[in-house]
Every structure is written in structure tokens, then in C-alpha cells.
Amino acid sequence: MNKNRIKIDIKKLNLWYSDTQALHEVEIKIKKNQITALIGPSGCGKSTFLRCLNRMNDLVADVKITGDIVIDDKNIYDKDVDEVSVRKRVGMVFQQPNPFPKSIYDNIAYAPLKHGMVKKGKLCDKLVEESLKSAGIWDEVKNILNNPGTSLSGGQQQRVCIARTIAIKPDIILMDEPTSALDPISTQKIEALMLRLKKLYTIIIVTHNMQQAGRVADMTAFFHLGELIEYDKTKKIFLNPTKKKTEDYITGRFG
């Protein structure tokens, strides 16, 4: 596995919501099998940027996007690319755990069955088990797979949502503040899970928690007012940032 391989190459990315420009000429290269943290004050464009990576902004009215997002040498905004196939490859975990109002088993099996990846039966059972194991929650739910996903605690629900994302075999996982609604113990479990998962996936996480970025991220990108101000190794960003604006944000002078 080539750890230095560029997985996502973004060039001159701009985004407008109607007449309001939310992203300005963002350029960034994201390496395979690393965790990249996106930090910056609220409203600075982090989540907007994240949603560009799986074309979720296509679902918003009056959005205009220019520039290139190249994943594995293919621009995902090319005319011949289907956004549904992009979302299958680039999974998303949201801020609030959002299990479907179905059983734990059906939460995991739903998308693989829908996409025709497996049929009902032993192969599907195996995929559900493997996904829940990968998300570190199998031992907690293996005897209650028919219970509703919504019956679990918040931290367990979020790990089920991660298992649901893993089940469709993505190679990139996006996480939009995945622990902000969770208690410290659940947060610790999700962070440990991220560090395990990066061996198999490229992970990009939006976080307001500086300590979290410091604990899990290989690389950190600092956004401000829709611009990418600085992008470097996490240690460098936190201990020796190049830009004054980055230093002011890290040290709590604004944001």
C-alpha cells in the first residue's frame, strides 16, 4: 500500500449558494489512508467543502460549483459520472447519529441489498457481521440484531451508522463532526475506531474540537471565510503554523 499516493486532488474549487460565494479557489491534495481534519470557525465552509466530495451539494437548489475534484485520476464532476455511484464510493457519517427506523440488521443490509451487492441469506449475514465488527460494535449488538437501531445509545447508534457506511464498501469516509453529540467515552471509542479504519479507508473529518484533530489527524486544513488558509501535517499546524490567522485561531484569539 502506497501511503504517499494522492487519493483526492482538488483544483480551483469554487462554490456559490445562489449569489453568495461559500468556497474560494480551494486547492488541496489528500493522501490515501490518512485522516485529514478540517478545522475553522462556524460558517467558514468546512461542511460545504466536505459535501462537495460526495456531490451532496447537488441536492441543494441554486448551487453552482466550478473546479475539479479528482478521485483516483477521475474528476467526479465530469458529465459521465453518476452522483449516486460517487456517494457509494464516498461514504458519509453525519453529526447526529441517524439510524434508519429499522432493525440493526436491516440498517446495515439495506444499501448492499438495494445496490445488488449481496442477496438475502448467508452472504448478507456475513456482510452485516463484518461491517459491525469493523465498526467495533458487533459484540454489543450480535444478540439484538432484530432490535431497532434507534433503541441504542447515541454512541452505539453512531457506530452502527459507521458500520452502515462501511457495508457499501466505500474507499473514502467523510465524517461531519461525528462526535459532537456524544459523551466523552463514546467519543474516545469513535476516535479509536477512526485510527483503525484509516488502514483501509481515506478519512476526512470536520471537527470543532482542536484536541480531537490533534489526536487523530495526520493532516489538518484550516478554513476561514470559505478560503483554505493553511494545510499541513497536524503537528506543524498546531505547533508551528505558517500563517498568522492559523495561529490566532489555534490559540483561541478568534473563532
The SS3 assignment for 2 reads coil
Q: Which residues contact 216 (CB under 8 A, 6 or more apart)?
A: 35, 37, 191, 194, 195, 205
* CA–CA distance, 212 with 234 (Å, rounded to integer): 11
* CA–CA distance, 128 with 138 (Å, rounded to integer): 9
Tens digits of residue pLDDT in 112-131: 999 899 999 999 999 999 99
Is residue 234 a contact partner of residue 218, using CB atoms and an 8 Å limit? yes
Q: What's the mean pLDDT when you consider all of the chain?
A: 94
Q: At what angle do helices 122-134 and 154-167 cross, to 10 degrees?
A: 130
- What is the rounded average pLDDT of the residues 25-54? 96
* CA–CA distance, 203 with 217 (Å, rounded to integer): 9
Is residue 11 a contact partner of residue 70, using CB atoms and an 8 Å limit? yes
Tens digits of residue pLDDT in 65-92: 999 999 999 999 999 999 988 999 999 9
Task: Kindly indicate the confidence band of residue 213, based on its pLDDT and cuts at 50, 70 and 90.
Answer: very high
Q: At what angle do helices 104-114 and 122-134 cross, to 10 degrees?
A: 120
| Model pLDDT, residue 253 | 83
| Model pLDDT, residue 9 | 98
Q: Exposed/middle/buried for 20, CB within 10 Å: 0-12, 13-18, 19+?
A: exposed
- What is the rounded average pLDDT of the residues 53-68? 93
| Model pLDDT, residue 3 | 52
- What is the rounded average pLDDT of the residues 17-41? 96
Domains parsed from the chain with CATH numbers: 6-250 (3.40.50.300)
Q: Exposed/middle/buried for 253, CB within 10 Å: 0-12, 13-18, 19+?
A: exposed
Sign of CA dihedral 249, 63, 172, 7: negative
Is residue 253 a contact partner of residue 79, using CB atoms and an 8 Å limit? no
Using the structure block, give the residue that is written with the C-alpha cell 499516493: 5
pTM metric for this prediction = 0.94
* CA–CA distance, 29 with 97 (Å, rounded to integer): 29
